[in-house]
Amino acid sequence: MTPALTDLEPKQVWKHFDALAAIPRASTKEAAAREYVLSIAAKHKLEAVQDSIGNTVVRKPAHPGREAAPMALLQGHLDMVCEKNEGTAHNFDTDPIKIRRDGDWLKAEGTTLGADNGVGVAAALAVMESTDIAHGPLEFVFTIDEETGLTGAAEFPGGMLKSKYFLNLDNEEEDTICIGCAGGVKTIARRKVTLRPATGDTGWRIKVFGLKGGHSGVDIHQGRGNALRILGSTLQTLMERLSVEVADLNGGSAQNAIPREASATILLDAAREKELKALVAKLEADYKADLGNFDPELQITVEKVMRPEKVLDAKDAELTVDLLATLHHGILAMSPDVPELVQNSTNLATVALNRDVVEIVTSQRSAIAASKEAAAHMVATACRLAGFQTEHTGSYPGWKPEPNSDIVRKLQAVHENVFGHPAKLIAMHAGLECGVIGEKYPGMQMASFGPTIVGPHSPDERVEISSVEGFWKYLKAVLEGI
């Protein structure tokens, strides 16, 4: 076992987490993780079936004496977000996650940890192997490609599941039970650009980095900087004051992550180096003052690079940069019903120049279908005004909270019995697979819980060790109490 996990409790959960951390499992590349799940099922002679895209369902009979209990399912996703800090030598297709311990926290060395949703999957596998939990009949659902668009949940077939209760293990805050979530949609904007010969004599790389990033739903209200907007605004100023040419721009990593880094290649005569660096330094100071303690580690740097032969036509560069600097990012509205819950938001996620096409990807979220569509329409309208063609894709439904459902009452009773107080009922401004799969199974009652995970979708991701022990204790009590 990885040294950082030695002697941690519960051993049966950390054993599987350790195994999963050693298995590369980027979104759409979960085959090896799925085989690991199937090997555990086969070892214990459990029924296992797969759908056409690789979602896996395992069924386990009830513990003796609990055969009459209602069937429940435990669900988690096999994939993880693959983010790393620049300079970190890690290949997510081949390398295991390097785990380290910091007090009561587990982290990774320069990459995402994969606690989202590796801890939940590990706990489900521990239940699969258990012989001492007095549970009723169980189904286990392991989905693929949750992180890049809830694809596994979206393609999950109706009629496959038999459970009355749906227990999602992808919540990230102990002492809470999630009973609702936002739906989402991706809005993609593309513009074909003209490339012309460069005139400036020196290439320069403008790089924005050091931002916290984070989950575009869970962290959208934190006031963190967006690397794409900062890059766009920086380039806007450089084009206006120094008439720089833009040869390339790239930033962000995923549609559901707040972009931490972005860069652009520009051309400007070497004689103006001091002027360029002074202006960038001033802009960095201005943005740092604006972000304050929300994102204090922002840096914007300038370095010489190989001179590009081609640059974007001035009008194409202007419209692209103006759009990056202008597109809304962040909260659009707060919930009038649930305190501190974001109701509508939009995330400016990625930008890339692919040959002669600029592509900008954004995502919009809301628990209300009409509000989600309105936000997507707003973003698309702004993009079209800049001469971009737009499309909407990957739409998925929200999950309406039902605080008085039978499963919520049962979970609260167990929580009070185990911890001496009820859990806080919350709704998430993020897509959960409960909403997507549950839509296909009317009447199935749903809830989500898990340990404390901070900084998911970024290299700052960490899981609180003590909360995993509490999560496991609660999960066992829930299965014995429903």
Taking a C-beta distance cutoff of 8 angstroms, is the pair 187, 88 a contact? no
Say whether 79 is catalytic.
yes
Residues 265 and 306: their CA atoms lie apart, in Å, by: 9
Let me know whether 121 and 60 are in one domain.
yes
| Catalytic entry in 139, 146, 173, 219 | 146
Tokens 């690789």 appear where? 54
Neighbours of 181 (CB within 10 A): 29
Let me know whether 311 and 174 are in one domain.
no
Note the pLDDT of residue 300.
Answer: 98
Considering only CA atoms, which of 300, 294, 304, 295 is closest in space to residue 282?
300
Let me know whether 133 and 259 are in one domain.
no
Note the pLDDT of residue 149.
Answer: 75
Domain boundary pick from 396, 416, 442: 396
Distances (CA, A) of 237 to 63, 198, 276, 333, 476: 67, 20, 11, 30, 58
- Tell me whether strands 424-428 and 445-448 are parallel, antiparallel or unpaired: unpaired
Taking a C-beta distance cutoff of 8 angstroms, is the pair 231, 262 a contact? yes
Let me know whether 358 and 412 are in one domain.
no
- Number of structural domains (the chain) is 2
Q: What is the mean pLDDT of each run of 10 residues along the chain (482 residues)?
A: 95 98 97 98 98 97 97 98 93 97 97 97 98 98 92 94 97 94 94 97 97 92 97 98 97 92 98 98 98 97 97 98 97 87 95 97 93 97 98 88 92 98 92 88 95 93 98 98 95
Taking a C-beta distance cutoff of 8 angstroms, is the pair 447, 168 a contact? yes
Say whether 295 is catalytic.
no
Let me know whether 411 and 391 are in one domain.
no
Note the pLDDT of residue 238.
Answer: 98
Strand order in the sheet with 105-108: 99-102, 105-108, 462-464, 453-454
Domain boundary pick from 396, 412, 436: 396
- CATH number, position 422: 3.40.630.10
Let me know whether 162 and 235 are in one domain.
no
Distances (CA, A) of 71 to 38, 66, 164, 480: 21, 10, 6, 12
Let me know whether 361 and 218 are in one domain.
yes
Strand order in the sheet with 72-77: 47-50, 56-60, 138-143, 72-77, 165-168, 445-448, 176-181, 424-428
Let me know whether 260 and 379 are in one domain.
yes
Neighbouring C-alpha atoms within 13 Å toward the C-beta of 126: 28
- Domain holding 62, by residue range, is 3-182+398-481
Note the pLDDT of residue 228.
Answer: 98
Neighbours of 243 (CB within 10 A): 12
Let me know whether 245 and 284 are in one domain.
yes
Let me know whether 294 and 404 are in one domain.
no
**Residue 64 corresponds to which tokens in the numbers above?**
């003796």
| Catalytic entry in 30, 79, 145, 433 | 79
Let me know whether 221 and 364 are in one domain.
yes
- CATH number, position 245: 3.30.70.360
Residues 203 and 235: their CA atoms lie apart, in Å, by: 14
From first CA to last CA, the distance across the chain in angstroms is: 34
Note the pLDDT of residue 339.
Answer: 79
**Residue 239 corresponds to which tokens in the numbers above?**
């084009």
Taking a C-beta distance cutoff of 8 angstroms, is the pair 75, 156 a contact? no
- Output the pTM of the full model: 0.73
Note the pLDDT of residue 254.
Answer: 86
Let me know whether 355 and 446 are in one domain.
no
Domain boundary pick from 369, 396, 423: 396
